[in-house]
Amino acid sequence: MQNVAQSASLKERLRQSEPVLAPGVYDALSALLAEQAGFEALYLSGGAVAYTLLGRSDVGLTTASETADVLARIADRVSLPIIVDGDTGYGNALNTQRTVRAFERAGAAMIQLEDQGFPKRCGHLAGKTVVPVREMCGKLKAALDARHSADTLILGRTDAVAVEGLEAAIERAEAYLECGVDALFIEAVVSAADMDRVCGRFASRVPLLANMVEGGKTPIHSAGELGARGYRIVIYPGGTVRFASRQLQRYFAGLKADGSTRGFKDEMNDFDALNGLIGTPELLERGRRYAEDDPA
């Protein structure tokens, strides 16, 4: 399985104190660009899949198979470990097992599962619900049992801060850690003081993930700042889509107004530059070698 080495690599990397900074990606091209920029890992969020595949909001509209398909295309193109948002497992404990197996086959190094009720929504939107702790523990144990390799990491996420308060979220995280998860994610903490409280409780015991959402509930900090607090995974899950959408708005507005892309010439990769970036010359050369080896 392609993901075994990547998963083992991520597992080993998380033993270091310096945090892993994982940018959000949403397709093979964005993943390739992130890899070329020198990142160590990537993050595929359910929100990014909804935004780009469906052009819709992150409110539980995507399916496990849709996310697995996107993941498989990314894993086929890049060699970095991929952390994948498994939402609620797309159902009960048995559905969660199917999701974990599908995501592991598709190339996930770490699979994130959350305790929201259905329909779930973005962790920084209002109106969330959470399932009982016992139900979520059943899902997490099912996920751990379902994975093919122990190097495929399971990350337990709680969205309880906005629903039940920080203390309840911390107690949920304790229960999820007791289930045996490999990492924890307490979503949408609202202050630096709350971050310190979370890290003081868990950072010495398990890798913690910090979620940076531009305009979201949690204050934005750099990976270095978050690492100093005790976080070992830092994600910017939707920043790529937010940035790309703003630039595409500019591009389409300019093309509509001017009838030409001349105004963006210096901001674009031209035909040759794009082909160089995605490896077209190497691909054509490989095809030529295969053609020369053809006995016919």
pTM of the model: 0.94
The pLDDT value recorded for residue 232 is 97
Q: Which fold has domain 3-244?
A: TIM Barrel (3.20.20)
Helices (H) and strands (E) in the chain, counts: 13, 8
Question: Average pLDDT for residues 196-209, to the nearest whole number?
Answer: 97
The pLDDT value recorded for residue 120 is 84
Categorize the per-residue pLDDT at 1 as very low, low, confident or very high, splitting at 50, 70 and 90: very low
Question: Average pLDDT for residues 109-127, to the nearest whole number?
Answer: 85
State yes or no: pLDDT of 294 exceeds 70.
no
State yes or no: pLDDT of 162 exceeds 60.
yes
Pick the closest to residue 43 from 116, 110, 121 (CA basis).
Answer: 110
Strands (DSSP E) found in 9-70: 20-25, 42-44
For 220-232, what is each residue's pLDDT tens digit?
999 999 999 999 9
Top pLDDT among 207 and 118 is at 207
Give phi and psi for 44, each to the nearest 5: -110, 110
d(CA 57, CA 59): 6
